[in-house]
A and B are shown apart, each in its own frame.
Chain A
C-alpha cells in the first residue's frame, strides 16, 4: 500500500486551494513547519497570519477574518487547537456558525516523543460536544485531500484531526468524500469494524488475517464523527454477530460513543479498541506507543475473537 503523510498532503491541498480561491486565509501558531502551512506561507505571505504562540487570539482572530468573507484555517497541534481555544471556538465561532476550519495536527498519540501534554486523547469528544460543529478524522492522505477540498466549500465550523505520520492509503481514489457518510472499505458478513484515522488500515489488516481463518469482517471508515449518517451505521451492522470500534482516541466521547449511540437498543455485542480513560506518555517510537495503548491490528483481532467466543459459549 502507498504511504502518504496527512500533514504533507494537507499543506499541499491548502496551497492548491489558495491558488484557486483568494478568500482562503491561513493562521498559524508557530508550528508551520510541522503543520505544513509553511507551503501556503511561502506562496501567499499576505494571506498567511503568523499569530505567534497564542492559540486563543488566533482562533478569535480567524472568526473576525471569516466575518469579512474569508475562509479561515487555523492550525496547531490538536491538543492546543481544541484545548487552548475551546472557549473561543464555542463562543465566537460555533454559536454563530462561522466559517472557520480548525485543523488539529499531530493528533492522538502521534506526537509520540512529547508525551501527555502534546498528545490529544479527547479532542474529538470536546469538539463533538459543541453544537453546530462538524468533526472529521480522515483515514489516510487521499481522504485528507478530499476532505480539505470539501470543507473549504462548506460554510460553517469544522474540526479536522490529522496524524503526524505516513499512513497507508485506504480511501478509494475515485470515491467522493461527503460529510457525514460512513464508507465501507471492505465487505464482510460476520463482524463489522467501525474505525477511523490510523485504525482503519489496522482494521483492514485484521480483516485480512481473519479471512484466513474463515471469518468474514466488514470494515467501515467512520471519518465523519459529526454529523454521522446513523441510518447507514445501523444498516451496516445488520445481521452481524458483533461490532468492534477502533480509534486512536479516548473511549469516552469519540467513535465508541458515536457507534454505541447509533446502535442503541439493537442488543448487538460491542468491543472497543480505544485509549482507556487516561493520558498519553512519551515513547521512542509511535508503534511502541500504539502497542502500549493496545491500538494494533492484533488488538482488533482479539476484540473480534472475543465476540466470536461469546457466541461459542
Chain B
C-alpha cells in the first residue's frame, strides 16, 4: 500500500472511530484518533496477518496495552475484514462482540485482554519470549500510552524485555501528552520518556506519529536492530483529525453532540 493509500486508510479508520463514538454516548475518541496513522501502517503495511485466518501461526501479534483505545483497533480489524464492518454499529451494546475494552474471546483478531493499564506490555513480552522459544521470526507490536507508563508494571516489563533481549518486540509510546484528567506534565509527569527507556536497555527512536512516511521508515529501520527490544516514541495529537477535539482533554472519553458528530464526519469524509 502506498503512503497516499495509507493516509486514506487512516482517515477511514478515524471516521469509523467517530461513528463508533456516535451521538450522546461516551467513547474514547481522543486516544483512539491519536493512533490512526500508526495503526493503519501496522495493519495495512507492516504486520503479517490474515483476517481469514486470525490464528495463523506465522502472524505478527498486536497488543493494545492502552486498551481504552479499542475503537482504533476495532476500526482496523473491521477494515481488514476480521468481521463485517456493520459490527461497529454494535460497539458496547449488550451482547456485542465489541466490548468497551479488547476481549480476545469475543472479537476475532484481538490477541489479548487489555484495559487494566500497564499489563499489555508484559503480555507482549511473554508473547515475544514464546515466539523466540519456538524459533519463530514473527514480531510482536505493542502500544502503550504516555499516561499509562506511570504504571510500575510497565517498567518491570521494560526490564524483562531487555534482560531477555526481546528484539522481536516493537513498542510505540503514544505520546499524545494528555491523560484523563489533563496534561501529563501537569497531572503526573512521566517525562523524560526517551531517557527512561534508554536506561532500561531499549533501542529508542522517535517519530511524528501522524506522518505515515516517517512511521514506515522508522518501523523498517528498527527491524535491523538486534539484541534489544525497540521503542518508538510517537509524538501525536490527542483527538487528531477531529478539529474541535484536538488537544482537548474532555474528548479522552467524551460524548459528541449531533452537531459535533456531523462536523467530525464531514471533516473526515472530504
Residues of A within 8 A of B (CB): 25, 46-47, 49, 51-52, 54, 56-57, 59-70, 72, 87-88, 90-92, 95-97
Determine if B195 is an interface residue (Cβ-Cβ < 8 Å): no
Judge if B104 is at the interface, Cβ distance under 8 Å: yes
A63 touches B105 (CB 8 A): no
Flag if B126 contacts A60 (CB, 8 Å). Answer: yes
Contacts known (A51-B160, A54-B156); A63 close to B133, Cβ less than 8 A: no
Q: Which of chain B's residues 89-136 have a Cβ closer than 8 Å to chain A?
A: 103-105, 111-116, 118-120, 122-131, 133-134
Do B133 and A47 touch across chains, with their CB atoms under 8 A apart?
yes
Instruction: From A56, A57, A69, A96, name the one whose CB has the most chain B CB atoms within 10 angstroms.
Output: A57
Cα distance A276–B177 in the bound complex, in angstroms: 49
Question: Given that A67-B126, A69-B130, A97-B105 are contacting pairs, would A61 and B153 also be in contact in the complex, using a CB cutoff of 8 Å?
Answer: no
Residues of B within 8 A of A62 (CB): 126
User: Could you give 21 example pairs across A and B, Cβ below 8 Å?
Assistant: A47-B133, A49-B129, A52-B156, A54-B159, A56-B118, A56-B119, A56-B152, A56-B156, A57-B125, A60-B120, A60-B126, A63-B119, A64-B129, A67-B126, A68-B131, A88-B119, A90-B116, A91-B116, A92-B112, A95-B113, A97-B105
Instruction: Give every chain A residue within 8 A of B171 (Cβ-Cβ).
Output: none
B113 touches A91 (CB 8 A): yes
Contact of B133 among A25, A59, A66, A88 (CB under 8 A): A25
Contact (Cβ within 8 A) A65 B127: yes
Check if A67 sits within 8 Å of B111, measured CB to CB. yes
Is B39 an interface residue, CB under 8 A from the partner? no
Q: Which of A25, A46, A68, A97 is in CB contact (< 8 Å) with B127?
A: A68
Given contacts A91-B115, A92-B119, contact A52 B160 (CB under 8 A): yes
CB pair A64–B160 under 8 Å, yes or no, is no
CA distance A159 to B159 in the complex (A): 26
User: Which chain A positions have C-beta within 8 A of B122?
Assistant: 56-57, 59-61, 63-64, 88, 92
